[in-house]
Structure 1
Amino acid sequence: MDKTINSLKSKDIRLNDVRISKFVDANTIIFIIMGFLLSRSTLIDYIAPLGFAFFICISKLDRYKYPVFVSTLLGILLSGNNTGSIFKYSIALCAILILSSQLKKVPSIFKVSMLGVFILSAVSIGQALVGSKYIYDLLLIGMESVISFIAIYIFSFGVTLIINSNNRVSVRLEEAISMSLLITFSIMGIGSITVFGLSIRSVLSTVLILVASIVGGSAMGSTSGVVVGLAFIINNITSAVYMGIYSFAGLVGGAFSRLNKYFCILGYILSWIIMYSYTSGLSSNIMEVRDILIASLIVIILPKSFFDRVGKLVKSNIDSNEIVHDYINRSKNLTNNRLMDIYKTYNELANTFDNIREKDKIINEKDITNLIDMIHNDECTSCSMKRMCWETRFNHTYKLMYKLIENIEEHGEATSRTIPEDFRKECMKPEMIVKVANYYYKLFALDYDWNNKFSESRKIISNQIRNISKSIEDLSKDLNTNISIDLEKEKGISDELERNNISIKRINYLTKGNDDFEITIKRRTCSNGCLCDKRLISIVEDCIDEKLSVQKIGCHTLGSNCTIKLTKAQVYKAVTNVASMSRDGYVLSGDNYTYMEVSDGKYIMAISDGMGKGKKAYDESSVTIDILEKMIDAKIDNEIVINTINNMLLLKSSEEMFSTLDLGIVDLKKGSLETVKMGSCPSYIKRDNGEVDLISSSSLPVGILSDIKMDRHNTKLGNGDYVIMVSDGIIDAGKSNNFGDNWLIYFLQKLESTNPKEIANKILDRALELQLGEVDDDMTVLVTKMYSQ
C-alpha cells in the first residue's frame, strides 16, 4: 500500500513538473520581470505608460499574457505613483486584457499601437474631465499618447526577438535598439533601491554598458551609453551631462575590447572618471565610482559562455564570421548529403544492370523443352505414328529428340550424316525433323547473339553510370573537405585596398586544400586596364604574403565591370605550338588536338588519331577531343574521362569506332608532367641540356574493349624543357626509308632550335622529306616549351 502511495506521489510530482514546464519557461520569467519593472518606470510628472505599452505587445501571446498581466498590474500598484495614475493605468491594462482576443487578429503593429493609444487616451481624458480640467493635463495626455505609441511600436521588435532568439541567424537594427530600450527602462524601474548603500540601478546600468562594449566594441558601447544616459534623464535621475559621460566611457571601453575584457573594463573606468572629473568634479559624488567598481567586478566574474551567448545573438551586427561560417557549413552539409544520395542512387542503378543474369550458352534445359514442343507442333502432329511415339513411348521419343538437339548443339547443325542411327530407324521422316530442328536452333542462336550484344551494351552503360556516380562522389568529397571561404582574409584584403583608395564591389577568398587558394575581386574597370597588374596585385601580395598570378576578365571594356582572379603564383609557364598536315586528297584530318590551361594551375595537351581516314576518322577523334576538353575543365578524374570516351565510342555506332589518345597534363606549380596514353605514339622530352627522354605505351586505343587499361607515367620537368607529342603519321614516316620508329629521337638530339614553333615545323618538314613529299597519313606535331617565371 505504501509503495502504491509513493508511486502515485511521484507521478503527481512528475505531472506537476510537466505542467510547470508547459506554462513557465525562461521567456515567461523574463517577461514577468520586465512587465513589473517597466510599469514602475515613471517618466515626466507621473507619466508611466511603459508597462502598459509592454503588455499590449504581450497580449497577443496567450502563453504569456496572464502572468505578465499580473506582474504588470502589481508593478503599477507598487510604483509609488499618485492614486489617479495608478487607477488610470490599471483600468487601461484591464481593457487591453479584455480586448486581447481581438488584438490577435490585427496583424499591423501600427494599428495595434494606435488602438493602445486610443484606449489609454480615452481613460486619461475621462479622468481629466472628471478631475481638474486644466490645459496642462491635456498637454500631458498628448505627450503620454506620443510616448505610448512609440513605446508600443519599438517594444514589439524586442518581444519578437526574445521569443525567436534561438532560431535567429541575425539581429536587425530595430530589434537591437528595442532590446536595449527594454533592458534600460527595466533597470530604471528598479528605482532608488540600495543594498549596503549601493545603487542597484547604477550598478546594473554600468554592467549593461560594459557587456555591450565587450561584445560589440565601440559602436555598441557608445550606443548603450547614450541609451542609458537618456533613460536617466527621462527618469529625472541625473543631468544631461551623464549622457555624454556614459557614451564616451562606452566608446573608449569598446575600443579596448579587441584586447580582452579586462582592458575594456579598465578603459571604461578611467574614461568615466576623467570625464566626470572635468564636468562635475570627482568629489561631488565619489559613491558613483564605487558603484562602477562593483559593476566591473560583476562583469569580471561573468563566465565566458555568457558573453558567447550574447555575442552570438548580436553577431550579425558586429562581426558576422561565425554566423556566415555556420551557414556555409550547413549549406555544404545539405549539398553533400544530397550529392551522396544521388551517388548511392546511381551506384545502385549500375549494380542493377550488373546483376542481370545472362545465358551462358545458346540453349538451356528450358529452351530444349520449348524446341522439342515446336518440332512436335510443326511435324509430329500430322504424322500417322504420333500415337505410338508421343503417347505409348513418350519417354523414349523424348530422349531421342533430346539426343538430336545435343547433336545439333555440338556440331552447330545436323545433317543426314550426323543424324543418330536409332533416331533414323524409328522416325518416319527424319530429314524433315532435322530440317525443322536446324531452323529453330538457328533462331535460338541468333537470339543468343543479340542477347550477348545487349549484355555488352548493358555493361557499358553500367560502367558509365558508375563513372557518373564516382564523379558525384568525388565532387561531394571535394566540396566537403577542400573548399572553404576565409572571411577574415576577405576583410583584411578589403580593408587594405580601401586604405589605398581602391574601391571594389565584392571579394571572395576560397581556400582549396592546405596550400592553395583563389581570390576573386569584382570592381569597376579602370581607365587603362593596368591597375590589376600594378597596384592591386602588389597590395594583395603584401597583405597575404604570397606571390600571385592574375587572370583578368573584362578589364578593357570601359564602363563595365572587371573580374580579377588571383591564384598562387605558378612556377612555370607553358607555351604550345602546332604543325599539322592532312593526308593527300583529304580536307578533314583524322588527327585532332587541343592544348589549354585549366583550373588549379594545370595545363593539358592532347592528340587523338581516329581510325581510318577522311571524315570518319575526323568524327572519331573530334568526339574524343571534345569530351576530353569539357570533362578535364570540369575537374573530373582522368580515369573517368578516359572511360567515358571509351564508352561513348563503343555505343556511338554499330560499326567499329576507335581512336588513339595521347594526353599530357602539366602541373605548372610543381613542374611535373603526367601522361595518359591509349594506343598512342611515344612522347618525347627534350631537356635543356640536349638529352631526349622517351615515354612509350603498349595500350590499346579507346573504343575497342569495354575494359581498358591506361598507361600512366609521371615525369619531372624543368625550365627550358620541351614536350613533343606526335601522331602515328610522323613516326611511320621513317619506315619508308628504313629509319625505323626511333628516327625522331636522333633528329631531336641534333636539333638546336629553341623556338617551339620552329621545332614543330622542322619535325613536320623532316617527316615529309622522309616520305619524299607524299603524305600517307595525317601528321600532327605538338611542341610545348616550359618557362620558369
Structure 2
Amino acid sequence: MEKVEREIVEPVRGINMKSTKAGLSKMIEILFKKIEHVLIQKGILIFLIGFLLGRAFILSHLSPFYLPFFAAVLILRKQHAPLALLGVISGAMTISLGVAAHSFLLSFSFLLFFKVTKLGDYNPYKVLPISIFAFLLIGKIVGSFITSGFFSLYDIMMGSVEACLGYILTLIFLQSIPLLAAKKRKQALKTEEIVCLIILLASVMTGTIGWTVYDVSIEHVMSRYLVLIFAFVAGATVGSTVGVVTGLIFSLANISSFFHMSLLAFSGLLGGLLKEGKKPGVAIGLFISTLLIGMYDQGSQNLVISLYESFAAILLFFITPRSLTSRIAKYIPGTSEYAAEQQLYLRKVRDVTAKRVNQFSAVFQALSNSFQQIENQDDEDEYRELDYFLSNVTEKTCQTCFKKDNCWAKNFSTTYEGMSRIMQELDTNDGQLSHKLKRDWDKHCTRSNKVIEAIGQELTLYQANQKLKKQVKESRKLVANQLLGVSEVMGNFAKEIQKERESHEAQEDQILEALQTFGLDITQVDIFSLTQGNVDIEMTIPDMYANGECEKLIAPLLSDICGEHIMVHSKDQAFPTGDIHVTFRSAKRYTVTTGVAHAAKDGGLVSGDSYSTIELGLGKYAIAISDGMGNGERAHHESNETLQLLRKILLSGIEEKVAIKSVNSILSLRTTDEIFSTLDLAIIDLQDASSRFLKIGSTPSFIKRGSQVKKIQASNLPIGIIQEFEVDVVSEQLKAGDLLVMMSDGVFEGPRHVENYEQWMKRKLTELRTDDPQEIADLIMEEVIRSGTGEISDDMTIVVAKVQHNTPKWAAIPFNLTKKKAQ
C-alpha cells in the first residue's frame, strides 16, 4: 500500500513542483516587464542616471558628465528632458548648493541657447559636441572668476580639459542613450556601441563614489557586478574590455582606485575564460582575481574588505534573472543567444517566404482547375449549339410551311434526326449528301431542297464558329497545363527553401576529427542531408585552405565517410570575415561527353539547324536539335528561338512535356505564317543513366552499344503546325559506354542513291572503329557529304553523346587508416 501511494504521490509532487517553478518564473518575468516599463517609458531611469551623473566628478573638481547627458536627452528624448534636468540638479545638491547652482545655471543657459538657435534642426553629431565644448569652457572660466574674482592660466587649462571631456562624452551619450531608452531593438550592437554603453554605465557608477555600507564600497560592488555580467554574457574579450574601461574611468574619478582597474580587467578576462562553468565559473574568476590583485594592496584589512565587495557583487550576480542576461546576449555578436536569435529570424523569414510561395502555388492551381472546369462546360454546350443551329434553319424554312405542325408537332423526332443527319453528312462529306438520305428527306419534307440549302449556309457559319471555339478551347487547355506546371514548380521550390538542417552530431564530430587529423582547422560543419545520392554538407573554412585542399583532401575524405563520391559543388566568399563557405554534394554517377558536326546548305555561313546541350539543375543532361523550315537566316531564327524558349522553360523546373507544349503554343500563336520547326530532345538522368526521348517531327536517333545499333523513333508533328497535340515519350535505359547519335534530316536523308536510310546509317555506325564522340560526328558528316558527290544539299547537324561512369579525379581517403597513421 505504501509503495502504491509513493508511486502515485511522487509524480504528482514532481508535477506540482514543475508547475510551481514555471508559475514563479512567469511571475518574475511579468514583474520584470512592469519594472522595465516604469523605468524606461516613464523616464525614471533617465532621472536616476541624471542624479548619479550630477554627483560624478573627475580629479575631485571636474564635472564634465551632467551637461552632455542633459543635452543628449534634450535631442533624443525631449519628453524626458525635464526629468533629466531635475535628476542632475538633485544629484548636484548632494554635493553642495554651489555645485547645484552652477549646474542649474549652465544647464538653463544651454536650454535657452537650444531654443533660440533651434539647435535641434541641425545634425546633432556635428553641432551639439561643439556647443557643449564652448559652454563647459566658458562656464568653468566664469565660475572661477565669480568665486575668486579672477581666472588664471590654470583655470583655462582645467576648463579646456573639462570641455574636451564634455565633447567626447557628448558623442558617447548620443550613441549610448538610445540603447537604454529603446523599448525594442532588433539589430546587434556594434563594438563602438558596446564601448559607449560601458562608458555611460561606468560614468553613472562614479556618482556612487563615497557611498559605503559597513566599509563596503558601493562603487566597487557595482563595477565588479558589471564585469561579471558582461564576462558571463560575452566572454573574455568583452569582459576584459569592460573591466579596463570601467577601471580607467574610476581611476580618473579617484586616483586611489587605480589598482581597481587591474582587478576589473583581470576578473573580466578570467571570468570570461571560465564562462563554460556557468555563473559559478565566472564567480570563481572574480574571486581568484580579488585574491591575486589584493595581495599587492596595503595590508590584509583591505584584502578582507575587497573580498566582501566581491562576495556582494557575486550575490547580485547570482540573483540576476536569466532572462536579463539572455536579453543582453541577444544583441552581442558571437554569443550563442545572438546566433539563436539570428537563426530564429532567418527561419521566420524562410517560413514566411515558403508560405507565400505556397499561396502563389495554390493560386495557380486554382486557375488551372478553373480553366479545366470551363472546358468541361464547353462539352456540355455542344448539344445546345446543335439546337440553336436547327432553330436558325427552321426559322428560314419551316416557319412559312403549311406542314409545319405535321413535321414538328406530330413527327418531331423524325424531323429533328433527319436534319441532324443532313448536317453531319454535309459537314463530313464536303457539302455532299448520299442519295439515300436525299431520297428519304424528299419524301418527308415538301421543301427539301430549300432546307438542305439553308443547312449548308448555316453550316458554313457553324464550322467557322466551331473552329474558333476549338482554338479557344485548346488555348485554355494549354494555359491550364502551363499554370499547373508553374504551380508544381513553385510547390517544389517552397519545399526546397524549407529544407531544415538535420541532426547529425556524430557524423559532424567524425568529420571534424578527420579534418583535424590532417591538420586542417575547420571552424564549422553543417550536414543537411546524408541520403544516398543526395548528400548535402556545408563547411566554413579559412581562406588559406582555398588552394585545392577542398578538392584534394576534404572531398576525398568525405567520400570515404559517406560511402559515395563527394565533390565540391560551390564556393562563396564570406564577408567580412574572409572565410569561405564550401558546399559538398554527391557526385553524379555518370557523365556525358558530346561531339558536334554541322554544315550549312551549299557551304553557307548560316544554318537553319540549331543545337544545344543543357545541364539541368536536377542532375539531368539535355541534348536538343531543332531544324527550322527551309534554310538561311529565317530558318536559323526559328530553330534557335525554339531552343532558347525550351532551354529557359526546362531550367525553370517545368516537366519536359509541358515545356514542349508551351513552346509549341507560343510558336503557333505568335504568327499566321506557315512556319514550323522540328525538335529532337533527349534527357539523360546522370544518376541512373535512364533517358527520355521526345521527337517532334524529327528524324530517328540511334543508340550504339558495342556492335549493336538501336533506332529511337516517335511520331509527332513539327512544332508550330497545330496548337494542341500529344507528345509521345520514348524511354530507354542507357549504360556506360553507350553512344547516342542524334541528327537532323539533312544528315539522315543526305546520302544519295540510298533506298533505306535507316539501314545505311546503322551500317556506318557499326563499321566505326572509334568511340570518341567528336571523331564519330566528323566521320558520319564526311560520309554523308561524300555520298552526295561532295554537295551539301541541306543544312546538316549531328550530335554524338557518350555515357560514361563518373570517375573522380581524387580517390577516397580511408578515415580509419588516417587515424592509425596519426596514432
**TM-score, length-scaled by structure 2:** 0.69
Shift of 1:303: 4.6
1:274 pairs with 2:292:
yes
Pair 84,611 (structure 1): closer, same or farther in 2 beyond 3 Å: closer
Give the aligned residue type for 2:422: H
Give the aligned residue type for 2:205: I
Give the aligned residue type for 2:70: F
In the TM superposition, 1:429-578 aligns within 5 A as 435-436=453-454, 438-481=456-499, 515-516=535-536, 534=548, 537-538=551-552, 548-549=567-568, 567-568=584-585, 570=587, 574-578=591-595
Partner Cα separation in structure 2 for residue 63 and residue 691 of structure 1:
92
Q: After superposing the two structures, state which structure 1 stretch, 236-245 or 581-590, moved more.
A: 581-590
CA RMSD of aligned residues (A): 5.6
What is residue 28 of structure 1 aligned with on the other side? Answer: 43
Helix, strand or coil at the partner of 1:238? helix
What is residue 560 of structure 1 aligned with on the other side? Answer: none
What is residue 82 of structure 1 aligned with on the other side? Answer: 96
What is residue 204 of structure 1 aligned with on the other side? Answer: 222
- From 147, 156, 166, the equivalent of 1:131 is 147
What is residue 64 of structure 1 aligned with on the other side? Answer: 80
8 Å CA contact retained: 1:550, 1:567: yes
What is residue 363 of structure 1 aligned with on the other side? Answer: 385
Partner Cα separation in structure 2 for residue 276 and residue 138 of structure 1:
39
Q: After superposing the two structures, state which structure 1 stretch, 204-213 or 649-658, moved more.
A: 649-658
1:424 pairs with 2:446:
yes
Partner Cα separation in structure 2 for residue 323 and residue 242 of structure 1:
35
Q: After superposing the two structures, state which structure 1 stretch, 692-701 or 350-359, moved more.
A: 692-701
Helix, strand or coil at the partner of 2:179? helix
Offset from partner CA, 1:635-658 (integer Å, 9 cap, x none): 555454344344445546665846
What is residue 629 of structure 1 aligned with on the other side? Answer: 647
8 Å CA contact retained: 2:646, 2:659: yes
8 Å CA contact retained: 1:519, 1:566: yes
Shift of 1:728: 8.4
- From 298, 303, 306, the equivalent of 1:285 is 303
8 Å CA contact retained: 2:239, 2:269: yes
Offset from partner CA, 1:208-248 (integer Å, 9 cap, x none): 12222233334322221121111211221634343344334
8 Å CA contact retained: 1:664, 1:676: yes
Helix, strand or coil at the partner of 2:382? coil
Partner Cα separation in structure 2 for residue 303 and residue 21 of structure 1:
13
What is residue 314 of structure 1 aligned with on the other side? Answer: 332
Offset from partner CA, 1:131-162 (integer Å, 9 cap, x none): 32243556554444443333333212211222
Pair 44,611 (structure 1): closer, same or farther in 2 beyond 3 Å: closer
Pair 142,696 (structure 1): closer, same or farther in 2 beyond 3 Å: same
Offset from partner CA, 1:308-328 (integer Å, 9 cap, x none): 211212228999755654564
- From 262, 265, 268, the equivalent of 1:250 is 268
1:411 pairs with 2:429:
no
Partner Cα separation in structure 1 for residue 750 and residue 202 of structure 2:
92
Q: After superposing the two structures, state which structure 1 stretch, 64-73 or 314-323, moved more.
A: 314-323
Pair 501,509 (structure 1): closer, same or farther in 2 beyond 3 Å: closer
Shift of 1:205: 0.8
Partner Cα separation in structure 1 for residue 537 and residue 42 of structure 2:
45
Partner Cα separation in structure 2 for residue 191 and residue 171 of structure 1:
29
Could you list the runs of 5+ residues in structure 2 that have no partner in the other structure? 1-33, 503-507, 561-565, 573-579, 809-823
Offset from partner CA, 1:325-384 (integer Å, 9 cap, x none): 4564455456545545554554455455444453425834455555666x38xx99xxxx
Partner Cα separation in structure 1 for residue 764 and residue 570 of structure 2:
38
Q: After superposing the two structures, state which structure 1 stretch, 766-775 or 723-732, moved more.
A: 766-775
Pair 299,682 (structure 1): closer, same or farther in 2 beyond 3 Å: farther
Offset from partner CA, 1:418-440 (integer Å, 9 cap, x none): 76667637xxxx85676455323
Pair 125,621 (structure 1): closer, same or farther in 2 beyond 3 Å: closer
- From 51, 58, 75, the equivalent of 2:66 is 51
Give the aligned residue type for 1:443: L
What is residue 160 of structure 1 aligned with on the other side? Answer: 178
8 Å CA contact retained: 2:609, 2:636: yes
Helix, strand or coil at the partner of 1:363? helix
Partner Cα separation in structure 2 for residue 424 and residue 293 of structure 1:
123
Partner Cα separation in structure 2 for residue 713 and residue 450 of structure 1:
36
Partner Cα separation in structure 1 for residue 122 and residue 762 of structure 2:
85
Offset from partner CA, 1:494-551 (integer Å, 9 cap, x none): xx9xxx999xxxx999987662357899999xxxxxx966467557659989964488
- From 656, 662, 683, the equivalent of 1:664 is 683
8 Å CA contact retained: 1:632, 1:638: yes
Pair 279,754 (structure 1): closer, same or farther in 2 beyond 3 Å: farther
What is residue 606 of structure 1 aligned with on the other side? Answer: 623
Q: After superposing the two structures, state which structure 1 stretch, 326-335 or 238-247, moved more.
A: 326-335
What is residue 231 of structure 2 aligned with on the other side? Answer: 213
8 Å CA contact retained: 2:614, 2:623: no
Shift of 1:190: 2.4
Partner Cα separation in structure 2 for residue 125 and residue 564 of structure 1:
60
8 Å CA contact retained: 1:697, 1:711: no
Pair 408,181 (structure 1): closer, same or farther in 2 beyond 3 Å: same
What is residue 246 of structure 2 aligned with on the other side? Answer: 228
Shift of 1:747: 8.8
1:788 pairs with 2:802:
no
Partner Cα separation in structure 2 for residue 625 and residue 97 of structure 1:
74
1:169 pairs with 2:187:
yes
> May I ask how many residue pairs the two structures share in their alignment?
716
Pair 641,513 (structure 1): closer, same or farther in 2 beyond 3 Å: farther
Partner Cα separation in structure 2 for residue 115 and residue 566 of structure 1:
55
Give the aligned residue type for 2:261: M
Partner Cα separation in structure 2 for residue 294 and residue 713 of structure 1:
80
8 Å CA contact retained: 2:233, 2:329: yes
Partner Cα separation in structure 1 for residue 470 and residue 668 of structure 2:
15
What is residue 190 of structure 1 aligned with on the other side? Answer: 208
Give the aligned residue type for 2:703: Y
Shift of 1:675: 3.0
8 Å CA contact retained: 1:589, 1:614: yes
Partner Cα separation in structure 1 for residue 60 and residue 255 of structure 2:
13
8 Å CA contact retained: 1:579, 1:782: yes
Helix, strand or coil at the partner of 1:246? helix
Q: After superposing the two structures, state which structure 1 stretch, 633-642 or 32-41, moved more.
A: 633-642
Partner Cα separation in structure 1 for residue 718 and residue 287 of structure 2:
79
Helix, strand or coil at the partner of 2:188? coil
Q: After superposing the two structures, state which structure 1 stretch, 534-543 or 23-32, moved more.
A: 534-543
Could you list the runs of 5+ residues in structure 1 that have no partner in the other structure? 1-18, 381-385, 525-530, 554-562
Give the aligned residue type for 1:59: L
Offset from partner CA, 1:658-680 (integer Å, 9 cap, x none): 6453423242xx46444344467
Offset from partner CA, 1:464-503 (integer Å, 9 cap, x none): 344334334433433343799xxxx9xx99xx9xxx999x
Partner Cα separation in structure 1 for residue 311 and residue 718 of structure 2:
82
Give the aligned residue type for 1:788: T
8 Å CA contact retained: 2:140, 2:155: no
**TM-score, length-scaled by structure 1:** 0.72
